[in-house]
Each structure stands twice: as structure tokens, then as C-alpha cells.
Amino acid sequence: MKEQLVLRVVAKCLIPPILIFGCYIITHGELSPGGGFQGGIVLASAFILHALIHGRATLHQAFPRNLWATIATIGALIFAGVGTYSLLRGGQFLDYGWIVPSHPAKGEPWGMTLVEYGVGLTVCSVMVLIYDMISEPAEDDPTVDEDSA
Amino acid sequence: MSEQLLVDIGLLTLVTALAIAAIEVRSLFGAAMLAGVYSLVMALEWTTLHAIDVAFTEAAVGAGISTVLLIGALVHVGRDEKKPRRRVDLRGLVVVGITGAFLVYGTLDMPAFGDPQAPVHTHRAVRLVEQQVGKLPGGPGERHAAVENAADTAFEPTSVVGSDPLDLVDDFAGHVPNMVTSVLATYRGYDTMFETVVILIAGMSMMLLLQRRRKDVR
């Protein structure tokens, strides 16, 4: 769809605001509606929009498939890591108050914020991955890249 | 009859009609679009119920990503259903009818819609709103509670504890203003964590299944 001028221009105008909005939803998860899950999906929609218009090959040039898989794993590890950290500080698993034992009222928002970031990373990259996989051409295609093997 | 109820009835009728249309329509492309519209109307319904987080998710996931993924899948399966199905399966209708009747019977025991005295508003929700669930005695939560009692109101920056400047209570006195995030991230932390893991596994499974298929084709 690269030759469609309107699509290209609209996407160019839309993608940066979508990215900013996605980051906003993730970072303000504990203050306003939204959170890691919704923000991650909004972020992913920006990448998917780009891939829809410019083809998946350009997406793979900037972000190879293995990178998405790595980011997804890192996100889940951040979540588990925050839980383990509070465990190591002497509390229970995922008891965020123990992140700052001297001041649990500070630890709780810290924990939630980090956890939301983790969820956002995982959801965003998995959604892009799923789109990438579903739009995989079934037959032989010269644009199919080898960076995933 | 209140306006709220009118809007609810209108939206839910629309949702039902859209669901039936999505099942009945022969064009798969049309069905995918109808599913997206269904999610959008559901998001409106969640908004009228003041469940903004759910509405947000419904709009982003149901109307956004799901539609894109469904259409992406259409590239492989074609735009139309292959063969017409049997119009009515009597056995299925009986099973569905009985199950539905039981579900409706079950709702008869539930408190009236919007009843402020319903157990869900009086039993656990109070502690959830105070964000005191899961705070262990002897843990930092106890101190948290002490700070909180001294702070009294949630949205006022107050200094209560000693001279240590690091002990300043933050603006929300340990509360996270978005209650939904608070419940999801702490009270149901395990649930949310393994939800994230489930999403991760879904992505990994997609990679394993579809990448292998491509290699087989070659």
C-alpha cells in the first residue's frame, strides 16, 4: 500500500501521536484509566499501522522479530523481578510496600508503575508479533526475511 | 424509567443485534467488521456503567487489534464462508435454551441493578477502596496504615512522620488514585503477572506454530 499517498501522509501524521498516547497511558496507569495492557496495545497499533502501509519488511529492518520476542520476555521478567525484589527485601512476593521498606507508601506506587511498564512492554511486542505471524504469507514470498531463523 | 436505563436498553439491544448479525452474515469480512462494531458499542455500554478501564480495554483490544488480526487472518482463509450451515440445530437449541434458563434463574437471586446495599458494595469493596487489602500486620503495611490514619485525607500532601525529609507522605498518602490499577497490580498481582505470562506464551506459540509452517511449505 506504499503507493497510496493519502494513507502514507495520514499514517505519518498519526504514528507519533499514537506512540506518545501509548506511552502516556502506560506511565499514567496508576493515575488515570488505562495501564500497561491498554497502553501496550495502543503502542503496538502504531507499529502495526506502519507495517500495514510500508510492508513488514521495513518493520523487520528496524525491529527484527527476535527483538520483539526479547522485549516481550523482558517485560514479563520485569514483572516477576519486581515481585522477587520485594521478596528479597523481606516481604512477600509482589508486596510492593517492601520495595521501600522505610516508606511503603512510596514503594507501592513504585511497584505498580514498574509492573505496568513490564506489562506494557510484553503486550506491545506480543501484539506486534501476533500481527507479524498472522500476516505471514503462506506461499513463497521474496519479501520473507531470514532474520527470524 | 431513567435516561440511564433507556441508554442501556438501546445499547444492549444494538449489541444483541450486532452479535446475531456477526454470526449470521456469510461474508467473513463483514463478520469481522461487525465484531469490531460490537466491541465499540460494548465500550459505550461500559462507559455508561462508569467502567472506564474496561471500556478502554474493549475499545483498544476488541475494536482495534482484534479487527486487524481477524482481517489479517482473512488473507489466508478467504473472504466468504464455504458452505451454508444448517439453519437450526434442534439439539443445540435445547441445550442452549436450558443453560440460558438456568442462568436467568440464577440472576433472580442477585441484588437489584445498582442497589447500593448490595454485598459487593458493603462487604469487600470498602477495604479495596481504602487499599488496605493484603497489608500484613508487622509488615510495612502496618506503618502504612498508621501514616494513612494520620494523613486522614487522601489527596492532601501532608508531613506527619518525624524529621526525616524522606518520610514526607506523597500526594496520595500511599493511595494509587486509579483503583482498578491498584486492585489489578497488588491485590490481584499474581493474576496479572500470569496474565502477562499467558500473553507472552501466546506470542511464543504463534511464533513456533506459524514459523514452522512456513518452513514446511518451502
Region B109-132: mean pLDDT is: 77
A130 is in which domain, residue-wise? 5-134
Residue A144 in domain: no
Whether residue B167 is predicted with pLDDT greater than 50 in this model: the reply is no
A130 and B170 in contact by Cβ < 8 A?
no
Shortest Cα distance, chain B CAs vs residue A11, angstroms:
16
Region B182-200: mean pLDDT is: 88
Contact in structure between A23 and A35 (CB atoms under 8 Å)? no
Contact in structure between A52 and A59 (CB atoms under 8 Å)? no
Query: DSSP H helical segments within A63-103, as ranges?
Result: 65-88
Query: CB neighbours of B48 closer than 8 A, spacing ≥ 6?
Result: B4, B7, B8, B11
Neighboring chain B residues of A126 at a CB cutoff of 8 Å: 199-200, 202-203
For residue B218, with 0-12 CB atoms within 10 Å meaning exposed, 13-18 middle and 19 or more buried, which class applies? exposed
β-strand partners of B160: none
B177 and A103 in contact by Cβ < 8 A?
no
Lowest mean pLDDT among A60-74, B18-32, B148-162: B148-162
Residue A141 in domain: no
β-strand partners of B80: B27
The model scores a pTM over 0.95:
no
Residue-level pLDDT at A112 = 86
Shortest Cα distance, chain A CAs vs residue B79, angstroms:
15
DSSP class of residue B60 equals I
Phi-psi region of A52 (alpha: psi -120 to 50; beta: other; left: phi over 0): alpha
The verdict on B92 touching A (C-beta cutoff 8 Å) is: no
The verdict on A75 touching B (C-beta cutoff 8 Å) is: yes
Residue-level pLDDT at A73 = 95
Cell 484509566 -> residue: A33
Whether residue A1 is predicted with pLDDT greater than 70 in this model: the reply is no
Whether residue A141 is predicted with pLDDT greater than 70 in this model: the reply is no
Q: Give SS3 for A45.
A: helix
Residue A139 in domain: no
Q: Which among B53, B65, B210 has CB closest to A127?
A: B65
Whether residue B172 is predicted with pLDDT greater than 80 in this model: the reply is no
Residue A142 in domain: no
Residue A117 in domain: yes
User: Could you tell me how many CB contacts below 8 A there are between chain A and chain B?
Assistant: 189
B144 and A131 in contact by Cβ < 8 A?
no
Q: Which among B56, B60, B200 has CB closest to A72?
A: B200
Cell 524522606 -> residue: B166
Residue-level pLDDT at B180 = 81
Of residues A14 and A139, which shows the higher confidence score? A14
- Total domains in chain A come to 1
Positive or negative: CA dihedral B104, B110, B111, B116: negative
CA-nearest of B151, B51, B131, B192 to A109 is B131
Read off the pLDDT of residues A16-62 as tens digits, 9 standing for 90 and up: 999 999 999 998 887 888 888 999 999 999 999 999 888 888 888 98
Q: Which among B72, B166, B209 has CB closest to A103?
A: B166
Residue-level pLDDT at B214 = 55
Name the A residues in 5-34 with CB < 8 Å from any B CB.
25, 29-34
Residue-level pLDDT at B86 = 67
Region B165-178: mean pLDDT is: 53
- Closest chain B CA to residue A113: B185
Residue A61 in domain: yes
Of residues A81 and A136, which shows the higher confidence score? A81
Residue A90 in domain: yes
Model ipTM value: 0.85
The verdict on B66 touching A (C-beta cutoff 8 Å) is: no
Read off the pLDDT of residues A86-133 as tens digits, 9 standing for 90 and up: 889 888 888 887 888 777 777 777 888 899 999 999 999 999 999 988
Whether residue A75 is predicted with pLDDT greater than 90 in this model: the reply is yes
B185 and A112 in contact by Cβ < 8 A?
yes
Residue-level pLDDT at B100 = 96
Can you tell me the distance from the alpha carbon of B210 to that of A48, in angstroms, rounded to the nearest whole number?
A: 18
Q: How far is CA B47 from CA A46, B59, B183, B184, in A?
A: 24, 11, 19, 19
The verdict on A86 touching B (C-beta cutoff 8 Å) is: no
Whether residue B87 is predicted with pLDDT greater than 80 in this model: the reply is no
Can you tell me the distance from the alpha carbon of B71 to that of B206, in angstroms, rounded to the nearest whole number?
A: 17
Residue A140 in domain: no
Read off the pLDDT of residues B150-160 as tens digits, 9 standing for 90 and up: 444 444 444 44
Of residues B39 and A29, which shows the higher confidence score? B39
